[in-house]
Chains A and B, each alone.
Chain A
Amino acid sequence: MEPVAIVQGTAVPLDRSDVDTDQIIPSDWLKRVERTGFEKGLFSEWRDGEDFVLNNEEYAGANILLGGPNFGTGSSREHAVWAIQQYGFAAVISPRFGPIFKNNSTKNGLVPVEVDTATAETLMAAVQADPTLEITIDVERATIEAPAIGLASTFDLSESIRHRLLNGLDDIGITMQQVDKIGSFEGSRPSYMA
């Protein structure tokens, strides 16, 4: 994956809770065997409704998706992450992510910005009031800032994930450094499992 250090730009406010991965990318899109071409499927059922926020021209060009609590719950489909990235988002903000979605994000360089509820609510109101609000997410420092509204906060990011995002590291390569340990572990497994 590509390294990511700073995400700077504007955000789309998706003000609802429990946005599951079936909404992010409906199952018809899961039949594809490729890893690209999912941008058209992003929220495709909601985008057909005229008042959906992604159709609002004021938010065109935003590179941050600002969600409500329990964003990305449900299905393990990594296609949800691919669709969000391929549409043009580099980071997703939520007070709480579905665990598989969050994990999948970090494997693809999509920054999951898990902020406290108060920060999420402040941002949601601010971005709804001002679509041009500039937001800066710093992966190195695990900070999120919106100077125009005086917001400066941190988000939860483990050291190992931060390292992988900053350096665009391939997990398989890291794991294969332990190949001898994997081999000796295999030698110790019960015979009925081996």
Chain B
Amino acid sequence: MSEETTGPKTNIENGPRTIIEKVWDRHVVHAAEGEPSLLYIDLHLVHEVTSPQAFDGLRLTNRPIRRPELTVATEDHNVPTADIDQPIADPVSKAQVDTLRKNCDEFGVKLYSMGDINQGIVHVIGPELGLTQPGMTVVCGDSHTSTHGAFGALAFGIGTSEVEHVLATQTLQQSAQETMAITVNGELPEGSTAKDVVLAILGAADTGGGIGAIAEFRGPVIEALSMEGRMTVCNMSIEFGAKAGMIAPDDTTFEYLKGRPNAPSGAEWDAAVADWKTLRSDEGATYDREIIIDGADIVPYMTWGTNPGQVLPISADVPDPASFEDPGASDAAARALEYMGLTAGTPLKDVPVDTVFIGSCTNSRIEDLRAAAAVAKGRKVKDGMRTLVVPGSGLVKKQAEEEGLHTIFIEAGFDWREPGCSMCLAMNPDKLAPGERSASTSNRNFEGRQGRGGRTHLVSPAVAAATAIAGTFATPADLD
């Protein structure tokens, strides 16, 4: 039987600490031997899918929300991405969205509804509204809450029981976690992106390599990424099992935040930045696990199987299940190839694609759309290819339109949509049909994730756009 300690494996008292320990330690409300720590939660984000039963729980026990002003809600998973001036056609989706509206109204929670300029995917709007800040604890009933770790926040996904717990107490009981350093050295080759960085990390860590740990991404490649790129990396922390992923805040972070609606201003801004600058791992701080990757080895990647650890360079061939030493991995590969309708030895670049999806909390921000538009510009989508470009929020959509990106997409034959989670998990009308194959900028290639029987390959926005034009998996360089 394991005993719990009172923090993430704390180093020697007053000794060097990682950013993970620093942010954890400053949120401990109560700690006792043999008990999980009680952590204060600075920001609780809510959406329609994982919250209704939590609000019901509050009603049953007659509990109010302790800090409604630290709670922000949006509609994202179920919302259609076309004809949003009409009521939601699916009655079950509509009932779920209506329930969120009723709950937010009853409990006094700020809600950004469909059609509002600030509405969008929960992990896009938190940062862009300046709600997410360095050193915070951020939770949401959504596993991709790890996204907010890009700001040096401790951010993680929780279940519905914990959503209710945070609503009622503004705290969470949390067990100790190990610390994990993921260091990406050197420089990225031209043509490689943040998505390729995290797909490379997934290939190295596999789907279980982060279980029981909180990761810090660091090193020159990470430091050189924009905030959008850092969010893409942190977003997929859960795909290798880490509770959260964090990146130390720096000038890139502060520049992104300055002037955003909910960011501190005036003297408070200066005080906040001075504090945030202390949120770096100390010299000599140690980690329980470490992965080191050379940035020079990171090429455009894609997934070929049915879990996000099954990745290869796009230039590779479909792997032979017999080539895996571990019998479990070999079985999993064989099952994945059968589901994906792929034959070992086929070059991945020869595999034809039906649908291209550019969107999701991983890759729907302005920089992602710019990268895809740069590839689409002056080209045409392959005949018969279905494409969806789904901006992450109303604000991203507005900015993209101000920059003329929508015109580039439309002229190339891409379908330009309204914001939401869309085909990432197909809870709205955007779905793959059985047997259809997608190149998708989202985060999960699980069986049926984008629609029953659908086959998903995870790629970067640039590769998605190039694939839409080529008709088979391609990098932008392949189009020349």
Please list the residues of chain A having a beta carbon within 8 angstroms of any beta carbon in chain B. Answer: 16-18, 20, 22-23, 26-28, 30-35, 45, 68-70, 73-79, 81, 96-100, 103-104, 107-108, 142, 154, 156-160, 162, 171-172, 174-176, 178-179, 181-182, 185-186, 189-193
Contact = CB atoms under 8 A, between A and B. Distances in A.
Contacts of A158: 1-4, 36, 175
A172 B164 contact: yes
Interface residues of B, number: 79
Interface in B429-464: 444, 446-449, 452
B13 interface: no
B427 A27 contact: yes
Contact of A175 (B143, B165, B452): B165
B447 A45 contact: yes
Contacts of A18: 207, 306-307, 309, 332
B1 A142 contact: yes
A76 B169 contact: no
Q: Which of B1, B168, B329, B426 has the most CB of A within 10 A?
A: B1
Given A16-B332, A160-B35, A103 B159 contact: yes
Q: Which of B40, B159, B272 has the most CB of A within 10 A?
A: B159
A34 B61 CA distance: 16
B477 interface: no
B425 interface: yes
Contact of A26 (B160, B264, B452): B452
A22 B444 contact: yes
B211 A99 contact: yes
B161 A104 contact: yes
Contacts of A107: 159, 161-162
A75 B136 CA distance: 23
B331 A16 contact: yes
B226 interface: no
A182 B30 CA distance: 8
B299 interface: no
9 contacts: A17-B329, A18-B332, A31-B78, A33-B53, A77-B50, A100-B238, A104-B159, A159-B1, A190-B272
Contacts of A191: 268
Contacts of B67: 186
A76 B159 contact: yes
Contacts of B292: none
Interface of B: 1-4, 29-30, 34-36, 38, 40, 42, 49-50, 52-53, 56, 61, 63, 66-67, 77-78, 90, 92-93, 95-96, 99, 133, 136, 141-143, 157-162, 164-165, 168-171, 173, 175, 207-208, 211-212, 238-239, 241, 243, 264, 268-269, 271-272, 275, 306-307, 309, 328-329, 331-332, 335, 425-427, 444, 446-449, 452
A53 to B, nearest CB: 14
B40 A70 contact: no
A142 B238 CA distance: 28
Contact of B143 (A28, A32, A96, A100): A100
B38 A178 contact: yes
A193 to B, nearest CB: 6
B260 to A, nearest CB: 12
A32 B92 contact: yes
Nearest to B268: A192
A175 B307 contact: no
A124 B42 CA distance: 44
Given A35-B53, A159-B4, A69 B328 contact: yes
Contacts of B95: 31, 33
A79 B67 CA distance: 26
Contacts of A32: 92, 96
Given A22-B444, A22-B446, A176-B169, A160 B158 contact: no
B468 to A, nearest CB: 25
Given A23-B446, A96-B211, A181-B30, A17 B332 contact: yes
Contact of B211 (A26, A76, A98): A98
Given A108-B161, A156-B2, A175-B169, 20 more contacts: A17-B328, A17-B331, A17-B332, A22-B447, A27-B426, A30-B77, A31-B49, A33-B52, A33-B95, A45-B448, A76-B141, A77-B49, A78-B141, A100-B238, A107-B159, A174-B173, A175-B38, A175-B168, A186-B170, A192-B272
List 4 tightest A-B contacts by C-beta distance, closest first: A104-B159, A107-B161, A78-B159, A192-B264
Contacts of B275: 190
Nearest to A174: B173
A175 B311 CA distance: 42
A103 B1 contact: no
B133 A193 contact: yes
Contacts of B161: 78, 104, 107-108, 171
Contact of A33 (B66, B99, B169, B264): B99
A172 B427 contact: no
Contacts of B159: 76-78, 81, 100, 103-104, 107
B310 to A, nearest CB: 9
A142 B449 CA distance: 35
Given A171-B173, A181-B30, A99 B447 contact: no
Contacts of B169: 172, 175-176, 179, 182
B457 to A, nearest CB: 16
A159 B36 CA distance: 10
Contact of A74 (B3, B158, B444): B444
A192 B175 CA distance: 28
B475 to A, nearest CB: 28
Nearest to B92: A31
A182 B133 CA distance: 21
A73 B207 contact: yes
A193 B275 CA distance: 13
Contact of A185 (B29, B50, B164): B29
B180 to A, nearest CB: 13
Nearest to B91: A31
Contacts of B264: 192
